[in-house]
Amino acid sequence: MKKSSINNKVNKKRNNASWWLWMFGAIFAAMVARVFFSGATPAGFANFGASKPVELTFSDVLRRGDEIQSMTIRGSDAAGVLKDGTQFRATITDDPELLNKIAENGATISIDNSKSWVDLLGTWLPIVFFVFLIWWFFRGARGGAAGLGRSLTGQNPTKITTGKPSTTFKDVAGIESEKQELAEVVDFLKNKDKYKTVGARVPRGVLLAGEPGTGKTLLARAIAGEANVPFFAASGSDFSGIIVGLGVAKIKEIFEMAKRNAPCILFIDEIDAIGQRRSSHSYNDHDREQTLNQLLIEMDGFANDTGIIVIGATNRPDMLDSALLRPGRFDRQVYIELPDLAGRRAILDLYTKRIKVADNVNIMDLARGTTGFSGADLENLLNEAALHAVRNGRKEVAQEDVEEARDKIIMGPRKMRKMRPEDIKLTAYHEAGHAFVSIMYADVTDPIHKATIIPRGRALGMVQHLPIDDKVSMTIAEVRANLAVALAGRGAEEVFFGPDKITTGAESDIAMATRLARYSITTAGLSPKIGLAAINQVGTFGTRGALENASEKTAEMVDAEIRSWLDNAHKDAVKLLTKNKSTVDKLAQELLKRETLTGDEIKEIVLGKKAATKKPAQKKTRKKDAKSEQ
């Protein structure tokens, strides 16, 4: 089935839905008209002229009964003419004595029991509507639950993205190993006969798991584009609804569509919305479990040569039901890691082709300074840099735009807060302490990139490091050095202002140091006192469970060891700062003057010699230089 025929069917369903909507709207309008207009206009009013009738109360009618010439009554509404020719209308009660009294005074009284078209419409249309509604449900039920489900899904269609995407593997960067893992799927969709000859079974389902923004949806589209096959995409939340059985019907609908267009890719994003682990205690999730059961049946019912590949994406693989992950369903699981240094460089090279970048922008330094960024984060960073360039009247992105965008994403937007002079001074010495100890441990820590006292977000300042490459592990010497660097800010406050002047500014430093120390002691086994027992066990996909194998005594030992490590790191930092107090003071004074110091400027102040500076790489040779740096 071609894309045009699929769209025609979708449009036909939409037109039918529009027709039903118009019909229901007409019925609703009739019911409203019945409420507002029923009995509001007695028949006697049709003979009156354009003058507005006088409104009389019930007591007025009683008091002026001898002045009434004629009166027409319909229900509780009355309209008539006084003897002086004045038209009137009133609301009265059905009282025979009152009517007799008015008639005795010579008035002509008539009773109107006819019904207007509004009354008839308001009476019969709701009856017709409910009869039709019952007929509609029974019509769908003639085919069983599936027939009713098709009737429901026809009025509540699943949001399905169709067509052959133009995205290919060339548009996906930074995840080369994952692309190689999925190249076999593409080859099967292109050349399935050679697999059938050997008798090999290609995975029927592929689960893409990873952090948000790592490119799961993009990779699924690239597989379909690379194989040049139809691509059907839906979200897990599309299969949930308030009507019981609707999810099951929608699962059948999308799988039937995929079978008619095989070979194809069927992509279900956020599959954990319907694929959560089943439990005997899930009393309120019966419909979701039925939807999951139908998904399991549909995936297991595929023949080996249908050519349908189901791709699911989630960032919570630990929540999925085990039956969904068994061989024959999602029998290939690909975890997409956050990009490493080379991956970030490749992603940045891909996105910088879409924006104008100045020659002075060092893409490799940007890749080094974005550890932990996903592909979506990197794209957002370059977009923020481009927006900053436009705000400053530039026609291309400069290095300062990139730096501003990175600082904004990492620390938050720049705060134009008014700070007290003593707070600014204390912040300068705090950051100078970090920077100085970083230089002292330069042989085992990442190179320092810059130090700044410009407030951003909740931070009053920051010292930033750029790793040379991606580290997969740390030595105990590196751990201790990083702990000393983290606690050097608090140490500088004590050395230069005294223990009574320390502030809460070291909050994030202490938290980071505590996490690093706890990880090193309880998971990495770097503490001789605690030993090699892993107290935190690593689970599937890098998740960590609660404390295991830890008695109360062991927990107390862990707390004491963490405190010992942090105290020793703090003492090392204070010792270095006290011994080189004049150098740290000079560094802080320069920060107060310039607000931001580069890594080379910090080295020049601390080491007493001018650091070698690199010439900015030319735009045309950035890729070549990057390969040599790697």
Residue 33 has pLDDT above 70, yes or no: no
More confident residue, 453 or 612: 453
The helix (run of H) or strand (run of E) holding residue 79 is strand 77-82
- Of the pLDDT bands very low, low, confident and very high (cuts 50, 70, 90), residue 432 is very high
Q: What is the percent of the chain where pLDDT is above 90?
A: 20
Specify the range with the lowest mean pLDDT, choosing from 49-53, 295-299, 603-607: 49-53
pLDDT, residue 475, reads: 92
Given this model, what pLDDT does residue 450 score? 87
pLDDT digits (tens, 9 = 90+) for 366-383: 888 888 888 999 999 999
Q: Which residue has the tokens 């769209």?
A: 7
Those residues whose C-beta lies under 8 Å from the C-beta of residue 442, and which sit 6 or more positions away, are: 448
Mean pLDDT of 397-408: 89
Statement: residue 277 has pLDDT above 60 = yes
Residue 507 backbone phi and psi in degrees, to 5:
-55, -55
Residue 285 has pLDDT above 70, yes or no: no
Summarize the confidence of residues 495-506 as an average pLDDT: 89
Q: What are 136-170's pLDDT values in tens digits?
A: 666 554 444 444 444 444 444 444 555 677 888 88
Confidence tier at 613 by pLDDT (50, 70, 90): very low
Entry pTM: 0.64
The pLDDT score that the predictor gives to residue 614 is 43
3-class SS letters over 114-180? CCCHHHHHHHHHHHHHHHHHHHHHHHHHCCHHHHHHHHHHHHCCCCCECCCCCCCHHHCCCCHHHHH
Taking 50 as the threshold, does the pLDDT of residue 537 lie above it?
no
Checking if the pLDDT of 70 tops 90, the result is no
pLDDT of residue 116: 61
The answer on pLDDT for 14 being more than 70 is no
Mean pLDDT of 121-129: 69
pLDDT band at 609 (very low <50, low <70, confident <90, very high): low
Q: What CATH number matches the domain at 169-336, 2.120.10.30, 1.10.357.10, 3.40.225.10, 3.40.50.300?
A: 3.40.50.300
pLDDT of 42 strictly over 50:
no
pLDDT, position 138? 61
Please tell me the predicted confidence (pLDDT) of residue 458. Answer: 76
Whether the CB-CB separation of 65 and 156 falls below 8 Å is answered with no
Tokens 């660097």, residue located: 485
What mean pLDDT is predicted for residues 93-101?
A: 71
pLDDT reported for residue 462: 86
pLDDT confidence band for 109 (50 / 70 / 90): confident
Q: Is 50 exceeded by the pLDDT of residue 6?
A: no
Answer whether residue 3 shows pLDDT above 50: no
Task: Give the residue with greater pLDDT, 268 vs 623.
Answer: 268
pLDDT-wise least confident of 84-98, 221-235, 346-360: 84-98
User: What is residue 384's predicted lDDT score, i.e. its pLDDT?
Assistant: 92
**Predicted confidence (pLDDT) per residue in 305-340, tens digit:** 567 889 999 988 888 888 888 888 888 888 998 888
For residue 26, the model assigns a pLDDT of 65
Task: Tell me which range, 183-197, 342-356, 465-479, 544-558, is most confidently predicted by mean pLDDT.
Answer: 342-356
Fold of the 421-607 domain: Methane Monooxygenase Hydroxylase; Chain G, domain 1 (1.20.58)
Residue predicted with more confidence, 557 or 472: 557
In this prediction, residue 549 has a pLDDT band, given cuts at 50, 70 and 90, of low
What secondary structure does DSSP assign to 285-304, as a single string? -HHHHHHHHHHHHHHHT--T
Q: Are 392 and 551 in contact (CB under 8 A)?
A: no
Mean pLDDT of 520-535: 88
Q: What is the pLDDT of residue 55?
A: 80
Domain ranges of the chain: 3-37+118-142, 43-115, 169-336, 341-410, 421-607
More confident residue, 73 or 550: 73
- Whole-number pLDDT of residue 90: 81
Which carries the bigger pLDDT value, residue 16 or residue 528?
528
Two structure tokens written together for 189 = 């969709």
Whether the pLDDT of residue 45 is over 70: the answer is: no
In this predicted structure, which of 101-115, 477-491, 558-572, 611-625 has the lowest mean pLDDT? 611-625
- Fold exhibited by the domain 43-115: 3.30.720
- 479 versus 57: the higher-pLDDT residue is 479
Identify whether the C-beta of residue 489 lies closer than 8 Å to the C-beta of residue 430.
yes
Q: What CA–CA distance (Å, rounded) separates 348 from 365?
A: 11
Q: What is the mean pLDDT of residues 234-256?
A: 75
> For 194-228, what is each residue's pLDDT tens digit?
877 888 777 788 999 988 888 888 898 898 888 88
> Between residues 158 and 358, which one has the greater pLDDT?
358
431 belongs to the catalytic site = yes
Rounded Cα distance between 427 and 370, Å, is 25
**Catalytically annotated residue among 253, 403, 431, 590:** 431
Distinct helix (H) and strand (E) counts, the chain: 22, 15
Query: What value does the mean pLDDT take over residues 239-264?
Result: 76
Question: From the centroid of its chain, how far is CA 408?
Answer: 20
Distance of CA 59 to the CA centre of its chain: 67
Instruction: Share the mean pLDDT of the chain.
Output: 77
Choosing among 2.130.10.30, 1.10.8.60, 1.10.730.10, 3.40.640.10, the CATH entry for 341-410 is 1.10.8.60
3-state secondary structure 163-175: CCCCCCHHHCCCC
Mean pLDDT of 495-501: 90
**pLDDT at site 566:** 96
